[in-house]
Every structure is written in structure tokens, then in C-alpha cells.
Amino acid sequence: MIGTFVQSAVMLTDAAFISELGTHAYGAVGNAGLLYVSLIMLSMGIADSGQIMIARRNGEGNYLDIGRTFRHNIFILLLFSLMIFVVYALFTQSFLASTVNDSKVGALMDEYLNYRKYGVFFEAFRLAIMSFYVGIGRTRIIIYSTLILALSNILLDYALIFGNFGFPELGIQGAAIASTAAEFLAMLFMVIYLITDKKNQIYELFNRFRLDNDIIQKFIRLAPPLMGQGFIALGAWYIFFSIIEEMGPVELEISHIVKSLYFIAFIPLQGLNSTTKTLVSSLIGAKQAEKVPKLLLRINLLNVTALVIILHGILYPELMVNLVNHNPELLDNPERMQTIANLFQLIFGSMILVGIVSPYFHFLSGSGNTKISFLVEVSAIAIYLISAYILVMVLKSDLMGVWAVEYIYFSSLGIFSFLYFKFANWKNTVV
């Protein structure tokens, strides 16, 4: 999930710069970013399964198996990234033509993704290294690499979108190239750090790679539910925003601003969610499953505290909007700004609900019950999309009614997750 945060930061930066190009460009980059991350979530599912296995081996003190798991993680991620790239190359145009209502938005999305798709290979290396360090509980490198990615993306966006520092003015293409280049720089830093980190010698990370059927079988058991879970979660948001696109470009732009507030609020949650999976897996591996309930309560408290601190920004909607959108047609329109302010107030409660729910949901995959976490996600998403479709396409609701479905989704996710935590036998799950 830290990988999700990194991609969220990239989307926020791109959207903030692109907003100056107009309403259609802002909505197009927002939807294209969701589509890109939806497929990246498949790779994140593989990386998360590697993280869970590494954390379990770390809890057991089995360091050589950590190295073997890491090598398999890289191999599988690179193989799958090649498959994702081929899907982008072959099917993007036809998919957009069949799912995007506004042809101008569709053309801009295709322009963005045409350059953005190369980032899948850099993400494979970053996710593998990230899952290794999170799995062993040493996350400082992730802070450094995220800063490199964020800062380089800002500078490159400024240079390539508007033609500054002697670079050509490339618009949306520039945003895609900037984000891909920033991912490469962050990956390069992580690779150099990994190679020069002497603390990693006990894991023998760079021994000769040989396929291990036992490890492959564990990936086959753990990864598919996590891949499907992440893909469905972000894919559902893509469908949700595609439904909103039917309402018009202004509604789409406003909704992407609300989505940006979600991403900002989720910054602390992404790290805590990843920590939840690692610590739950480590505690079970160390035969200390009885400590898990107290751990979840503590993370629960940290989540809600962090959200309350961040979300006081909804009291200043103009300030929050200026962080992610610089379109004068929006900022100078009192009616649109009031709609945004009303939506910010509406989703405050749903975001607090996320803070309460997320530790129990991520506990599911941390315990190794990835099939259950997948079923929980699918069930909640189905309820979410059906509700959104009825509100937009049948009842012709306004944006306030559409965004109210967030409460339905997070409540469903929380109820299903807590019921499993409370009544299922999860303490002896083998990973």
C-alpha cells in the first residue's frame, strides 16, 4: 500500500500542473492516472505477497529464505510488468474508445498513457525493493526514495509541461514523461541503496537465482487474491469516475479535486496500513498472535488522530483546492467552489470511517488470509458500484448523492473485515 501512496503523489502532482491547461485536461489526466494505477495494482499485489512472506520469515528468523523470496519477487514482477506493458500497447485505444463518453477526454487520456506505460518496468524494481525493506521493518529508504520521486516529478512537470529550463513545451505528454522519468530516478536510487547496504549480507540477496517450486507455490497461493483485490479497488474508482464523466466535464473536474483530498488524507494511512500487514505477519510467525488485537487498536487510534489533524483543512476549501487545481475557470466560479466545499464536508465522516476500518481490513492479508481479503473487497465493491450506478443512471442524483456512496462502501468493508477478525480462526494460518 505504500506503493499506492507513491502513485497517488505522482497523480496529485501531474493533476496540479495540468489543471492550468483546462477542465478537460484535468479530468483526462485524473482518469488516465486511475487506469494506470489500476493495472499497477496487479504488480503491487505480487509485491505485497512477497512482503507478507518476507515478514513471516523475518519473524521466524529464517534469513536465507528472505533472500530467496526477494529474488523470486523480482523475477515474477518483471515478468508480469512485461505482460502489463503489452496490454497497454495493444488495447488502450480500443478500451478508451468504448468506455469514455467525451472524445476529447479520451484522446487526452490516450496521449498521457502512451508515454506513461513505460513506467511499469521501473515500478517492478521499486516494488520488489520496497516490499523487502518493509518486510524486514527497515523503511527509511522508502522515505528517501519517495522524496526523490516527488521532487523530481515536480521539477520535471514544471519543465516539460510548460517548456521551462530550455525544455520543449509538451503539455500532457510532458506530464507523462516527467512521471515516468521520476519513477526511474527513484528506482535507480533504491537499487544503489540495496546494493551498498551492508546490513543485507545476512540475506544473501544476490546469490544465483534458481526457481524454487515451494516459493512459487506460495506466491501462487498468496498473490492472486491480493492482485485482484487491488485491481478491483482502483478499477472500481475508474468505473466510478467514468460514471461521473457521463454527468459532464465540470462534474468530473470537481470529483477529481475531491479524490485529491482523499489521497492527501490517506498519506499517513498508507504507511500504517503497510505496517499493519508486516507486524501482523511477524507476530503470527513469532507465535505471538495474541498481541494482534491490541496492535490493531493502536493503529486504529493513530489513523483517526492523523486524519483529524489533516482533515481540518476542509474548513479552508479554497486553500485545499489551490493545492491541487489552478484552473481560473473553477477558482473564480462561486457556485463550483461551494459545491466543492459541500463535498468536503460530506466526505469528512467517510474518511474518519476509513481510519477505523482499514486496520481490520489489512489485518486480513497480513494474517495470510488473502482469499478472504479478496472476497471482502469484491463484496464491498459490488455494493459500492451498484449504489453509484443507481444514483447516477437511474435516480439522476447530483454529486452530493453520488459521493455519499463512500459511506456504503467503507461500512461494508468494515463490517465484513471485523466479523472475520472476531469469529474466524486466523491465528494458525500458514504462509
Domain segments of the chain as ranges: 2-423
Q: What is the pLDDT of residue 81?
A: 96
Separation of alpha carbons 321 and 319, rounded Å: 5
What local confidence, expressed as pLDDT, does residue 122 receive? Answer: 96
pLDDT at 310: 79
Measure the CA–CA gap between 322 and 37, rounded to whole angstroms. Answer: 24
Position 413: which residue type? Answer: L
The DSSP line for 208-263 is PP---HHHHHHHHHHHHHHHHHHHHHHHHHHHHHHHHHTT-HHHHHHHHHHHHHHH
- Burial class of 328 by CB neighbour count within 10 A (0 to 12, 13 to 18, 19+): exposed
Say how many Å lie between the first and final Cα of the chain, rounded. Answer: 19
| 213 close to 361: Cβ distance less than 8 angstroms | no
Whole-number pLDDT of residue 1? 47
**What is the per-residue pLDDT for 124?**
94
Per-residue pLDDT of the chain (431 residues; tens, 9 = 90+): 454 556 777 888 888 899 999 999 999 999 999 899 888 989 999 999 999 899 889 989 999 999 999 999 999 999 999 999 999 999 999 999 998 988 999 999 999 999 999 999 999 999 999 999 989 989 889 889 988 998 999 999 999 999 999 999 999 999 999 999 999 999 999 999 999 999 999 999 999 999 999 999 999 998 998 898 889 888 888 888 988 888 889 999 999 898 888 777 777 777 777 788 878 888 888 888 899 999 999 999 998 888 888 777 677 788 888 888 888 889 899 999 999 999 988 988 998 999 999 999 999 988 888 889 889 999 999 999 899 889 888 888 889 988 999 999 999 999 999 999 998 888 776 66
Residue 333 C-alpha cell reads as 466560479
- Residue 40 per-residue DSSP state: H
